[in-house]
Amino acid sequence: MTSLFHDIIFGPVHSRRLGLSLGVNLLPVESKLCSFDCIYCECGWNAEHPGARRFNAREDVRTQLEATLRRMAADGTPPDVITFAGNGEPTMHPEFEAVIGDTIALRDRLCPTARVSVLSNATQLHRDEVRRALLRVDNNILKLDSAFDATVRLMNNPQNPSYSVGKVVEQLKSFDGHLTVQTMFLRGECNGQRIDNTAEEEVAAWLRLLGEIRPRQVMVYSLDRDTPCRTLEKVPREELQAIAARVEALGIPCPVA
List the CATH number of the domain containing 22: 3.20.20.70
Domain assignment present for 4: no
Domain assignment present for 208: yes
Domain assignment present for 257: no
Domain assignment present for 2: no
CB-side neighbour CA atoms (13 Å) of 252: 27
Segments forming the whole domain that contains residue 193: 9-248
pTM of the full predicted structure?
A: 0.94
Q: Nearest Cα to 161, choosing from 173, 174, 152? A: 152
d(CA 56, CA 24): 10
Domain assignment present for 53: yes
d(CA 186, CA 213): 22
Q: Give the number of domains in the chain.
A: 1
Domain assignment present for 254: no
Domain assignment present for 255: no
From its phi and psi, is residue 19 left (phi > 0), alpha (psi between -120 and 50) or beta?
Answer: left
Q: What is the pLDDT along the chain (257 residues), one digit of tens a residue?
A: 678 888 999 999 888 767 899 999 999 888 899 999 999 999 999 988 776 668 999 999 999 999 999 999 999 999 999 999 999 999 999 999 999 999 999 999 999 999 999 999 999 999 999 999 999 999 999 999 999 999 999 999 999 999 999 999 999 999 999 999 999 999 999 999 999 999 999 999 999 999 999 999 999 999 998 999 999 999 999 999 999 999 999 999 999 98
Question: What's the gap between Cα 17 and its chain centre?
Answer: 11
Domain assignment present for 22: yes
